[in-house]
Amino acid sequence: MENGTPQKGRGDDSVSGGSRGGYYQGNQQKRGPQQYGRHPQYGYDKIKERVNTELSGPQLDLPPLDTTEKKFNASSRLFVGNLPRDIPYEELKEIFSQYGELGQVYFNKDGAYAFINFDYRANAEKAKRELQGKNCRSRPMKIRYASISTGVRVKNLTPCVSNELLEKAFNVFGQIEACRVIVDDRGKTTGDGIVIFADKKGATLAIKKCQEECYFLTSGLRPVIVEPLEARDEEEGQPESSMHKNEQYKQERKEGPRFADRNSFEYEYGIRWKRLYEMYKEKKLLLESDLQAEMEQLERRLAIVRHEHETEKLRRELMAREQEAMQMGRSSYGRQGSYGMV
């Protein structure tokens, strides 16, 4: 794309956009709004129907998930910053295409950055490793993995929810790239899970539907709480090359790591910070304890209500059977009387 002019590539490759940016679709299947409308899993009013028809009944011994990496997934998307604004779109594409097949590529000239989706994570990692800090028209490129905007965090899961059940329950909102229930170091579930959708529409639908209604994944009456997945970069962290060398940086870096001398003002304020953090931990622990007690009380109340409900249901069924038996008895007695009269 040059000067905001749409261009066509080979085959299904296309570029579109205005002067502020352009897209390259690569070999990905194009998805327009009309296709979402035709696809039943994206119809908001059909989600409940799909759940009732496809997921009702026992969910036992589910087959294991296919963990094969999906092509052009969200984790193989790079953010490239500090690009020269005058670089042609095709030249930018050529730089990165030597490391693997490209999916969607977005280049914002005004912002001097681009988002580049590789076919697989390994190719994205190779491009990042070899091009990090490399000059592009005299400007060193700053490359990191792009934050995932298509993920949701699922909370309030019961202990019997597995990766497979979570994937099956959320597949009704859209195609899923990755899904897992989070466990601690002992393998015990934390009650949270993560679902990464293939596109943002699936994540939006899941959040909206689960906020407006109560979605239960098991017979336990604990509705899932679905929130946007907080974007965190826990793999790369903050390398020195990405630091802004401003006045704050220069001021803080005047001194290196050290232990404070006792009876110094540094030690005094350090202790104050530590006490403040301990206070935070105590209040957090107390809040979690109160919440756990409320949850246990709700579970006990639920067990009582469920028992009362089942008892009332059995009582009504018994009454219905007794009435049916009485009606059959009267009908039989009436037939016998009519035979006697004959």
Residue 217 covered by a domain: no
Angle between helices 121-131 and 89-97 (to 10 degrees): 110
Ramachandran region, residue 214 (left: φ > 0; alpha: ψ -120 to 50; beta: rest): beta
Domain boundary among 125, 145, 165: 145
Question: 285: pLDDT confidence band, cut at 50, 70 and 90?
Answer: very high
Does residue 90 fall inside a structural domain? Answer: yes
In a domain, 311, yes or no: yes
Last residue of a domain, one of 121, 145, 169: 145
pLDDT level of residue 293 (50, 70, 90 thresholds) = very high
Q: Mean pLDDT, to the nearest integer, of 300-316? A: 91
- The pLDDT, as a whole number, for residue 335 is 63
**Residue 232 forms part of a structural domain:** no
> What was the pLDDT predicted at 38?
42
Q: How far is CA 47 from the centre of its chain?
A: 18
Domain region containing 72: 7-145
When divided into structural domains, the chain yields a total of: 2
CA distances from 313 to 302, 305, 316 (A): 16, 12, 5
- Give the CATH number of the domain where residue 85 resides: 3.30.70.330
pLDDT digits (tens, 9 = 90+) for 148-170: 999 999 999 999 999 999 999 99
- Helix, strand, coil percent values for the chain (each to nearest 5): 45, 20, 40
Summarised one tens digit per residue, pLDDT across range 263-279 is 998 889 899 999 999 99
On whether residue 250 sits in a domain, the answer given is no
Q: What is the mean pLDDT of residues 36-43?
A: 44
Give pLDDT tens digits for 88-136.
Answer: 999 999 999 999 999 999 999 999 999 999 999 999 999 999 999 999 9
Q: What is the pLDDT of residues 250-262, one digit of tens each?
A: 898 898 898 889 9
Examine residue 76 and state whether it is found in any structural domain, yes or no. Answer: yes
- Examine residue 191 and state whether it is found in any structural domain, yes or no: no
Q: 1: pLDDT confidence band, cut at 50, 70 and 90?
A: very low
Last residue of a domain, one of 145, 164, 184: 145
∠ at Cα 245 (239, 247), nearest 5°? 135
